[in-house]
Amino acid sequence: MGKALDGIRVLDLTQYEAGPTCTEMLAWLGADVVKVEPPGGEVTRTTMSDQPDLDSWYFVLLNANKKSVTLNLKSERGRVMFEKMVAGADVVVENLGPGAMDRLGLGYERLRQINPRVVAASIKGFGSTGPYAQFKSFEPVAQAMGGAISLTGSPEVPVRINAGIGDTNTGMHCAIGILAAIVQRQATGEGQRVEVAQQDAVVNLIRIRFRDPYVTGKATPRLGTKSQVTAPSNLFRCRPFGPNDYVYIHCASIEMWKALVGVLGRPELADDPRFKTPRGRAQHQDEIDAMVEAWTEKRTKHEATEILGAVGVPCGAVLDTAELLADASLAERQMMVPLDHPTRGRVMFPGNPVRLSASPTTVTPAPLLGANNEEIYGKELGCTSEELAALKRDGVI
């Protein structure tokens, strides 16, 4: 069966998380993604590894389904080889430091000159314009400047989020832009530049939080795990009271409230005028939370989830990473799949969350460094084995 992005060649100059998540998604959708790495490898292969002779899990998790070639873009021969690859490519993606592509002589205008159909995608902390254009950024910086940290934590202390909303989220936004540019190219015959700033992508994720300053003229407050518009909407402790033994319960409607109080053995509260609206319940949040937690404390988080979910109350156990790797539901849906890595062995691996009925994803392991040098440089660029040996000796590949 064919794939959605069959025939699309992507040159991947990305590093760390934001860029690799974008190109990994394109690879899962069927694009032929060639990761172009320095001769020593992309920085996260080794610097984040728990074992010096093995690729890091960080790298393995973010570079599935790709090919790998090594190339020194700072050398003249390396740039010439890369330009030959650009001539036959559909997409170039990079998230190097501000100005790096221009310093290499590979800025957008040069790429467009080589191949007018190329889609050139760039991920930066703050984009290519504005007062912060030359500032570097990583995940927590993007969270801070995009407003997410201001919304997270207790009223007294802001907290960073450990999900990749500054990195992976930006990568997904970039993938959307690339796909749109490919579609537009079908009509125009020309490529274009795609740019996504981490700050912008985080701002987009907190979009609904701007309702507070619109209404009150003040910044949105931090509320911890609670909601300001309904109750119950909170984390509740469960047996055996470990660090992640909690269930989140959220009642948005009167029907959900009626189902909840029925389970709690308090059906008379369904018609209590204090609790008939979300706003009314929010005004009695402490009373409601105490009643709900008196029930959850007698059950495990999984028991609470199964009982409440069965009657239509939105809820979810707090699952940690070890539990997710062993979760039967994720395995059944093939969000967690068994994967055999050539040096790391077999693991349960988080796969593609996007499911296409006519383009299913088969997850393959991240490539070893330079695994496709001979294929790309030999078969496609026409380098002989002697030339490849000389390129390696001279530090070009």
User: Mind listing the pLDDT tens digit for each residue in 344-361?
Assistant: 999 999 999 999 999 999
Report how far residue 238's alpha carbon sits from residue 322's, in angstroms, rounded to the nearest whole number: 18
pLDDT of residue 1: 73
pTM to 2 decimal places = 0.96
Contacts of 149-156 spanning 24+ positions with Cβ under 8 A: 150/219, 150/220, 150/222, 151/206, 151/209, 151/220, 151/222, 152/222, 153/222, 153/224, 154/222, 154/224, 155/221, 155/222, 155/223, 155/224
pLDDT attached to residue 177: 98
| Mean pLDDT calculated for residue range 159-166 | 97
The pLDDT tens digits for 226-242 are 998 999 999 999 999 99
Confidence of residue 195 (pLDDT cuts 50, 70, 90): very high
Q: What CATH number labels 233-237+246-317?
A: 3.30.1540.10
Residue 208 has pLDDT above 80, yes or no: yes
Residue span(s) of the chain under CATH 3.40.50.10540 come to: 9-205+329-393
The C-alpha torsion from 31 through 37 and 41 to 45, rounded to 10°, is -40
Mean pLDDT of the region 240-255: 98
Whole-angstrom Cα distance, residue 107 to residue 45?
A: 26
**Please, where in the chain does CATH 3.30.1540.10 lie?**
233-237+246-317
| pLDDT tens column, 289-320 | 999 999 999 999 999 999 999 999 999 999 99
Separation between Cα atoms, residue 19 and residue 168, nearest integer Å? 8
Each residue of 50-101: pLDDT tens digit? Answer: 998 999 999 999 999 999 999 999 999 999 999 999 999 999 999 999 999 9
Q: 245 catalytic, yes or no?
A: no
- Residue of 12, 32, 55, 167 marked catalytic: 167
Give the pLDDT band of residue 31 (cuts 50, 70, 90): very high
CA angle 16–21–27, rounded 5-degree value: 125
Could you give the 3-state DSSP secondary structure of residue 376? Answer: helix
pLDDT at 215 over 80: yes
9-205+329-393, CATH topology level: Rossmann fold (3.40.50)
Q: How confident is the model at residue 14 (pLDDT cuts 50, 70, 90)?
A: very high
> Please, what is the average pLDDT of the chain?
97
For 106-120, write each residue's pLDDT tens digit.
999 999 999 999 999
